[in-house]
Amino acid sequence: MKVFSAPAIHVFLKDSHSEIRTRYALNALLMFVVTALALVLFSVGNDVVGTDVLSGILWVIIFFSGMSGLSRTFVSEEERGTTATLQLIARPTSVLLGKLFFNFVLILSLNVLVAVLYIVMINRFVILTPSIFWATIFLGSCALASSSTIIAAIIAKANTKGTLYPVLSFPIMLPLLLTVMNATRLATEGAAFSEALGEFQILVSYTVVVVTISILLFGFVWKD
């Protein structure tokens, strides 16, 4: 596919190098993860909490951590006044796909980190079917990146970016969050991999639908 060739990859590389130098999103994400995990650890303490609740808490941490950093990919362009520059050197689809891939790598790395820390720190959170759990982390990251990228593009143009992002994201991501919470619960209950296939189909469908809609609509969001 021509659009996902060199220009999109170079948009991704530009964002990656920029992130390594400026740490616009990374610092926000890491600070949120550390703070949220510490709060959960203190509040749970020695209490007996069900695995379904712990599965929910894991994705609440991931959702709000993502909200604190994933919008940066478009918001930082807008704040630095480089949006017009980017508009003048690349097709809208290349920009979208490059930034989508950047957000995917960022959220996947974050989710793996959160998952490992969560398993280590919360003793009662035991994964009995790791294949379901890690597949959920991977597919959940794909779905989160796809929706958060297009929402970030929309809110980057607004004046109240910070508050608008989670508010706009929540209804769009609700079906995705319910699905990943359910799949994580299955992983903690020791369900067979085949039992989670329904959840995985939802996550793949969600990603495909959101990415397709994003490609169709991004030109309108990006230009004016």
Partner 1 sequence: MNHLTLTAGSLKKEFNRRVIFDSISFTLHEGEAFAITGRNGSGKSTLVKILCGLLSPTKGTVRVSVEGKEVNAEILFRHLGFVAPYLNMYDEFSGIENLMLFGKIRGLENNFAGDAEELLRQFNIFERRHDEVRTYSSGMKQRLKFAAALLHRPEILVMDEPTSNLDEEGIAAVRSVIAEHRRRGILIIATNEKEDVKYADAVLNLDERKLR
Summarize as ranges the residues that interact with partner 1 (CB under 8 A): 5-7, 10-11, 13-14, 17-18, 21-22, 80-82, 84-92, 94, 219, 223-224
User: Could you identify the residue written with the tokens 């220009």?
Assistant: 7
CA distances from 14 to 6, 23, 73 (A): 12, 13, 11
Sequence-distant (6+) residues with CB within 8 A of 115 are: 58, 133, 137
Radius of gyration, CA atoms only, the chain: 18
> Is 110 in contact with 65 (CB distance < 8 Å)?
yes
Return the number of the residue (15 or 199) whose C-beta is nearest partner 1: 15
Cα separation, 191 vs 98, whole angstroms:
36
Return the number of the residue (78 or 189) whose C-beta is nearest partner 1: 78
> Is 25 in contact with 73 (CB distance < 8 Å)?
yes
For the CB of residue 114, give the shortest distance to partner 1 in the complex, in Å. Answer: 27
Return the number of the residue (6 or 48) whose C-beta is nearest partner 1: 6
Burial class (CB in 10 A: 0-12, 13-18, 19+), 25: buried
For the CB of residue 31, give the shortest distance to partner 1 in the complex, in Å. Answer: 20
> Is 172 in contact with 151 (CB distance < 8 Å)?
yes
Return the number of the residue (90 or 178) whose C-beta is nearest partner 1: 90
For the CB of residue 79, give the shortest distance to partner 1 in the complex, in Å. Answer: 10
CA distances from 114 to 2, 107, 159, 182, 188 (A): 35, 10, 31, 18, 16
Return the number of the residue (184 or 214) whose C-beta is nearest partner 1: 214
For the CB of residue 107, give the shortest distance to partner 1 in the complex, in Å. Answer: 22
Return the number of the residue (82 or 131) whose C-beta is nearest partner 1: 82
Cα separation, 103 vs 105, whole angstroms:
6
For the CB of residue 71, give the shortest distance to partner 1 in the complex, in Å. Answer: 19
For the CB of residue 105, give the shortest distance to partner 1 in the complex, in Å. Answer: 18
